[in-house]
Amino acid sequence: MCLGVPGKIVSVDGDIATVDFWGVQRQVRLDVVDEPVLPGDYILNHVGYAIRRIPAEEIGATLALYEELLTHTEADQDLMAADVRAEIAGAGDDR
Amino acid sequence: MIANGVSELKFRDPARARALADALEQTVESIGREVAVMHVCGSHEQAIARFGLRAVLPKRLNVIMGPGCPVCITDVPEVDEGVALARQGVRLATYGDMLKVPGSMLSLNDAQAEGARIDIVYSVAQAVELARRIDEPLVFFATGFETTAVATAAAVLGDPPPNFFVLSAHKYIPPAMEIVAEMPDTRVEGFLAAGHAATITGWGVFEAFVDRHQLPVVVAGFEPLDILAGLVRLVELVRDGRPAVENMFPLCVTRAGNLRAQQQLWRVFKPIGGNWRGIAHVPNGNLRLRDEFAHLDARRRFDIDLESLWDFAPPALVRDCICGDIMAGIKSPTDCSLYGKACGPDSPVGACMVSSEGTCRIWHQYGGHPDLGGRRGAFCAR
């Protein structure tokens, strides 16, 4: 519950954005995000809320950790990867 | 040569990792004694353990996980409130991590087995949606630090339906650092602050702490290289006797933080003193709903019958659990007689083994102090 997960905004509808997380599209709320966001921007998602717009120059470094976690391990053997997957899987289940 | 181990670990940039590990070794060496620093984030511990960072740390540098697991520090009476409400027939929604956390007598899982209705949600937004679909009251048992509390605040301000209530066990991290710093037997000489929580609060929130306690604070990210770089800077500040706040996560964390989120957080919540499991009374460490939102407060809306739990005997092993000492940085999981024996992920005795962010659970999965020739070495070859 401490580590946010970055995703790329596909579309924005009021306070809700559709966000792509490694090919999985989920809805994320924009109530507390620090700056206005547009499709193509990256945000940091935490429990279904964008807590920050990620500056473009930071995206590469930010994504590296998650790519390592998501591509090299099986979730059931790896707590940290499991938490990241749960953030992705859980967001916007209601859609 | 400890730093040689770095090449066996999976780093994005092995040369940089080696340079950082060397710098860390030299700095600790120049201090010439044991140095203990504390981080306060389950995700930092996950990354440190998962990437085997302790294998490349100097032997005389002790990196301790403090009260950084929001599930773990949720106090027993708070769990009891949720359990009692659920057993009274009130429908509850909460984060999945909370289910197995022991109360004084029962966990939410135990209550569920008895027929209590508890919905697991990923987000408070899902709890609000659930409340909209049903006619009866729904209580969201809200746990977590400020990063999670801002989501609850947004939900409260987002005009939830009248049958939606909040049982807040939210916690605020900066005051807990004060408690650790003030513990008479603390060995902690500096803090590594969690990047994502600081995204909300900003690094400026630590300036008063540094002034008061004369201990350095370094804000660090979660990537292994970010953590190493943060530790290098922190140990340099310890060496130089220079208490300061340094931000090693500058693209993510600003001095002011996310003002929009803070505005909502403090509009909805007020900080009050309260116990954290195993730590102590933490002044201003608990976030409770302000009077303006009393109509949403489960504590005011319901008569929570804690006495109903008094018929149950507490689990026998709990008195041997040292989760509190572990979160205070005084002991390690391996100091516990239950760890890995009577207490494991399938049958956790204490909160530190329940949560994926608990020190015991993390060490149980990844090992705490990995030996590169053993399990960690095999893992790294993947």
Q: Is residue B253 part of a domain?
A: no
Distance from CA of A73 to the nearest CA of B (A): 9
Same domain as B136, residue B94: yes
Of B224, B247, B270, the one marking the end of a domain is: B247
Q: Is residue B382 part of a domain?
A: no
Q: Is residue B380 part of a domain?
A: no
Distance CA B60, CA B49 (A): 18
Same domain as B80, residue B30: no
Question: With contacts defined as CB-CB under 8 Å, which chain B residues touch A17?
Answer: none
Q: Which of B123, B254, B366 to mutate to test the interface with A (most CBs of A within 10 A)?
A: B123
Name the residue facing B223 among A47, A65, A87 (closest C-beta). Answer: A65
Distance CA A78, CA A88 (A): 15
Distance CA B90, CA B69 (A): 27
Q: Is residue B136 part of a domain?
A: yes
- pLDDT tens, chain B, 382 aa long: 333 344 345 677 788 888 999 999 999 999 999 999 999 988 899 889 888 888 889 999 999 998 888 888 888 889 999 999 999 999 999 999 899 888 888 899 999 999 999 999 999 999 999 999 999 999 999 999 999 999 999 999 999 999 999 999 999 999 988 888 888 878 899 999 988 888 999 999 999 999 999 999 999 988 888 999 999 999 999 999 999 999 998 777 899 999 999 999 999 999 999 988 877 789 999 999 999 999 999 999 999 988 888 777 666 677 788 988 888 888 899 999 999 999 999 888 888 998 888 999 999 988 766 544 333 322 222 2
Same domain as B81, residue B12: no
Model confidence, pTM: 0.89
Name the residue facing B97 among A1, A55, A57 (closest C-beta). Answer: A1
Q: Which domain holds residue B64?
A: 2-68+183-247
Distance from CA of B75 to the nearest CA of A (A): 17
Q: Is residue B331 part of a domain?
A: yes
Cα pseudo-dihedral A58, A63, A64, A69, rounded to 10: 150
ipTM of the complex: 0.86
Question: With contacts defined as CB-CB under 8 Å, which chain A residues touch B41?
Answer: 2
Q: Is residue B297 part of a domain?
A: yes
Can you give the CATH number for the domain in which B96 is found?
3.40.50.11740
Same domain as B265, residue B125: yes
Distance CA A27, CA A93 (A): 8
Domains and CATH numbers, chain A: 5-90 (2.30.30.140)
Can you give the CATH number for the domain in which B10 is found?
3.40.50.11750
Taking an 8 Å cut-off on Cβ atoms, the answer to whether A29 and B154 are in contact is yes
Say what the pLDDT of residue B179 is: 87
Nearest to B28 by CA among B3, B65, B7: B3
How many domains are there within chain B? 3
Same domain as B155, residue B188: no
Residues of chain A with pLDDT under 70: 1-2, 72-77, 91-95
Distance CA B360, CA B103 (A): 18
Same domain as B168, residue B265: yes
Cα B65-A4-A84 angle, rounded to 5 deg: 85
DSSP conformation letters of B61-116: EEEEE-S--HHHHS-HHHHHHHHHHHHTT-EEEEEGGGTT---SS--HHHHHHTT-
Written as six digits, the tokens of B207 are 């300036």
